[in-house]
Amino acid sequence: MSERKPKNIFHQGPIPATFIAESIQKHSTQTGIGGHSIFLGQVRADVGENGKVKAIDFTAFEEMAIEKMHSIREDIFSKYPITCMHVHHSLGEVLAGEICLFVFTSSAHRKEAMEACNEIVERLKAELPIWGREILEDDSHRWKVNK
C-alpha cells in the first residue's frame, strides 16, 4: 500500500456543475495527461407501481465507505497507469435531474482512464455501504436497489 491517506468522498447534497467544471479546469496545467474519463450519476425520475421518484435521500456508513474507497483507490492505482482519480458521492437529498456521483480519472492515454473510471463506478456501487431512499411524488418512499 502507498502513503496516500483516505480521502473523504462525500458531498452534502447534489454535486454542482461548477464544481465539476472547476475540477476539470484544475488539470489543464498537467500536460502529461492525454485523456480524462468522467462518469456523472444523475438521479433518475423512475416510475414504478407506487409513483414517480422525485428525489433520492442518500445515507452511508461514512467512515467504512471512506476506508473501502481508499482500498479501491489503491487497487485502481496499482492496476492502471492513471495520473489522477477523484470520486465524489452525494449524501442527503438529491432531486431528480441532479448529479449525485462524479468520478473523474486521468492518464496519459484515454483507454486507461476510461477503463479505470468504469471499474471504479462498478466497484463503488457493489462494495460501498451507501444507500438511497427513493422519495416519491406523494412523499412515500422505497429503498433503491442497484442493478
At 9-43, the pLDDT tens digits run 999 999 999 999 999 999 999 999 999 999 999 99
Residues 41 and 101 sit within 8 Å (Cβ to Cβ): yes
Distance, in Å, from the CA atom of 65 to the CA atom of 56, rounded to the nearest integer, reads 18
**Which pLDDT does position 142 carry in this prediction?**
86
Show the CA angle centred on residue 111, arms to residues 110 and 117, nearest 5°. 90
pLDDT range class, residue 103, cuts 50, 70, 90? very high
Please list the helix, strand and coil fractions of the chain in percent, rounded to the nearest 5, in that order.
35, 40, 30
Query: What is the value of pTM for the model shown?
Result: 0.93
Show me where the domains of the chain are located.
Answer: 10-143
In CATH, which superfamily holds the domain spanning 10-143? Molybdopterin biosynthesis MoaE subunit (3.90.1170.40)
